[in-house]
Structure 1
């Protein structure tokens, strides 16, 4: 769990995640579920607390869930399902560290190596039973829709995300509130080979502004790859939020990383 409050920006390590899910939390801001498998990121964070719909994503991926605190419903879910997780607030501080460059709680970090140490210390199951991604054949682009060189994705209270296509690199480069979203350590702008924007049912459930967010579907959305777009439906099947065309065939991903923007139903995207 990586936070996205202004005090937490720029973040570290999101550029090395295989998949990043961005979803609204309370406080009218988003958080990131960052999924690490192929890159041994040495710094990841700032790490913050978890919510039930984030747990659902981690559980479906058969992941070790790494966080700092929780909502009660999220903790009940993890305890009830006996999920493997590391919580800095309650007993797992050895697998995190605090940076002196920022004030708490926006200064908590971990790494892939620290996460592996924690998993080993807790005797978590080492065999992975997670889902497999569906990839396109090398050199093929599966999309048939309109060209999109720029997309703007509004969330709430003026916060918006945008991506601009870099044809030379074949990636969409990410910005937040009109400024390049960069990694703190490298200074490089975040980018993605696959961009999915998925509409989902959202509901505020308490006075703190906590939400229920549907991460099962089905619902509608759009996928962008190599400067092209395609309208899709999405649904969680076999552990992943997968995209399907109008004939019900899964739309494969291109080799590389993936960003998934989960937005409330009816969100008006700006695409050029």
Structure 2
């Protein structure tokens, strides 16, 4: 095939993918598992299993260390509004292919009836999740060469292929933006706050800080805005300029927002179009901005090794407390 013909063929393929939403979503090509559809009332069209397909507790040592549920959440425009995010204890935002964003929601104190749309995992998720005691990771799939690493990682990988009864397809959005998980079929019980081994501290705000009622964080092709609501004592989330609400109309509103500056480098993996997957390094140290109570605090962060949580301290080394409630952590490429 001549060069001109090859170029026209590539442009045509890219246009078709963009039209279907796959290119914009950074799809790996393994992100559309076949699972039952939902009829809009939260019921599957296929017969319900007699017992939930959930992870069962292992050794007594594992039972002493409860494990949270982490779910990879689609965050392109076609995936919004999302379901169940308001029940998460922590929401991590990371950069993926094309400068877009993807979320990881961590659940420990509350398990919603459904959460999603669920999408694929990335290599840097494995480092981020090492801080928890063998967490359950719900995701739709991953790049073929990455799956062996996920299967060897100290976590319980729960894809639709492994736990089909825990997933369903919604009817309000097109594939691949309509895959949802039922958390109570992925975990035997609500883990509780002890599962949140993140190193986060909660309590009174540190001294100082500056008044800050609106903060915008930009990725190459995505934007997060957090507006302080004095009446709700929460930060109202907007995505790409639009207020972010759940499918039941609830505005996403964390009590604390962390803008964490990290190293974002090229990973060894690509999507099926050849786009390199960014790797977000969450082990190390650097600076961060903590937003709480309508104020911003310039702090330092440190995570010595992957099994550790992250420490946030003021310039004089004092620990930084977060406000009680949901925490969002947005990983931003350090300048």
Which of 173, 194, 216 is matched with 1:152 structurally? 216
Within a 5 Å distance, the mapping from 1:114-263 to structure 2 comes to: 114-116=185-187, 131=197, 133-137=199-203, 140-157=204-221, 159-184=222-247, 186-205=248-267, 206=270, 207-236=274-303, 239-263=308-332
Gaps of 5+ in 1: 120-127, 267-272
Q: Deviations over 1:172-212 (max 9, x none)?
A: 1111122111111x212111111100111112344322111
Across the aligned residues of Structure 1 and Structure 2, the Cα RMSD in angstroms comes to 2.1
Within a 5 Å distance, the mapping from 1:34-113 to structure 2 comes to: 34-62=105-133, 63-72=135-144, 74-88=146-160, 90-113=161-184
Q: Which moved more, 1:54-63 or 1:192-201?
A: 54-63
With normalisation by structure 2, the TM-score equals 0.70
Gaps of 5+ in 2: 1-71
Distance 2:159 2:217 in 1: 31
Distance 1:134 1:262 in 2: 16
Call closer, same or farther: CA 1:57–1:223 in 2, change over 3 Å.
same
Distance 2:145 2:212 in 1: 39
Moved over 3 A (4+): 132-137
Query: Which protein shows a greater Rg?
Result: 2
Distance 2:216 2:108 in 1: 29
**CA offset at residue 41 of structure 1?**
0.5
Distance 2:207 2:140 in 1: 39
Which of 79, 89, 94 is matched with 1:8 structurally? 79
